[in-house]
Structure 1
């Protein structure tokens, strides 16, 4: 498969993740990340209704090795998603801040570009505290 040349250009979300790797509390990077769209894989078992209805979002939940909190993987680009989950055939583009604002109360971590050098994993509390932005 040929990769378009612009796939190697870092997106603002990717640049924010790089900045957060240096300073985990960088407010500008957190704002940029929260205002970015991320790709949320549609789980295979989501059903046709959930896949077709834009108001519904089924989160893909993966179990972590070693018994850690379950994790929801999201990605900043198709390339990042293909590296970790090459079998994903469908995804939704979702504003990360809006997703974080509706994050479930239970222990559920969020992994952004989880398999990359610039990946970021947040606890449930971290998602709501650092990334949640009011809708609007």
Structure 2
């Protein structure tokens, strides 16, 4: 009798944020509703390697990891799950969990894009204006 291999891992459950990204990517359903779901979701923000321990865990601020694309565009990568983050940035050892709408409401007023799950088929990149207008939520 053959014994099933334990090397097979169960697929990660799809999060509401990932469902929203898929809806937006496929342009199906209610895009506004999908954006609202996304804005209400928490994302993982990698802590930059050069951030001090104090800056990395300061509850009043988030150090943004900025990556420069070959085109010169600067983007901040965030992720819906640890698996998504590990697919693109396997070397990340520290990250913060942040409500995306809160992050967007404090987005810097510079030319800085946001990319969510960049390496996945449902990835989304927004320019700085779209981050603030489509995802920002008022702070309590």
TM-score by length of 1: 0.92
Structure 2 unpaired stretches of 5+ = 1-6
| Structure 2 residue 65 is matched with structure 1 residue 60 | yes
Spell out structure 1 runs of 4+ moving beyond 4 A.
Answer: none
Residue among 95, 98, 103 paired with 2:99: 95
Q: What's the CA shift for 1:3? A: 8.4
Q: What's the CA shift for 1:55? A: 1.6
Give the alignment's Cα RMSD to 1 decimal.
1.7
Match for residue 46 of structure 2? Answer: 41
Aligned residue-pair number: 133
Structure 1 unpaired stretches of 5+ = none
Radius of gyration: which is bigger? 2
Match for residue 55 of structure 2? Answer: 50
Q: What's the CA shift for 1:56? A: 2.1
1:40-76 residue CA offsets vs partner (Å, 9 max, x unmatched): 0000101111123222210000001122x20000000
